[in-house]
Amino acid sequence: MPESCPIVPQLVDNRATRISAGLTLLVVIATLWLGRPWLPLALALDFALRSRGRVAWSPIAQASRLLRQAFGLRPSPVNAGPKRFAALVGAVFALVIALGLGFHLARVAQAAAAILLLCAALEAFLGLCVGCKVYSLLQPLLPDPGHPAKADSPEHP
């Protein structure tokens, strides 16, 4: 059984997240081709929904689930915490792309798109979640929700 995450105890389907990464590739490529800021804005909203665990409201998550089923792939449960963090990071990059396009900062949009494309490709084709790796590096710095933080002041008798 997969180990539990200290932030969220839920699991997500890793195969569906890899398909979602492939769909993200398509949206970012379409964004670069068309140069329309509404596409990455919609992608940012979709990432935000997934980062909050609202996969039922996410068109990309729903399409990924249907594609996984259509290809006859079984679910592959993994911890939701790192994937949600990665989705939050994806939302930030998609928002930067939209703002770059909206304010005619093509290089900013292209740089953010290149990073998002690389991360999505690594996830889709190799199963390597860069956001999850960053999450694992940051996790020791986060407070443990099971234990209250120690007071900064000395204890009183």
**pLDDT score, position 3:** 47
Which amino acid is located at 30 in the chain?
A
**pLDDT score, position 8:** 67
Residue 49, helix vs strand vs coil = helix
Alpha helix stretches (DSSP H) within 12-154: 14-34, 38-51, 59-70, 80-102, 106-121, 130-138
What is the rounded CA–CA span in Å between residue 114 and residue 39?
16
Residues 65-104 have pLDDT tens digits of 999 999 999 999 999 999 999 999 999 999 999 999 999 9
CB 46 within 8 A of CB 111: no
Residues 106-145 have pLDDT tens digits of 999 999 999 999 999 999 999 999 999 998 888 888 776 5
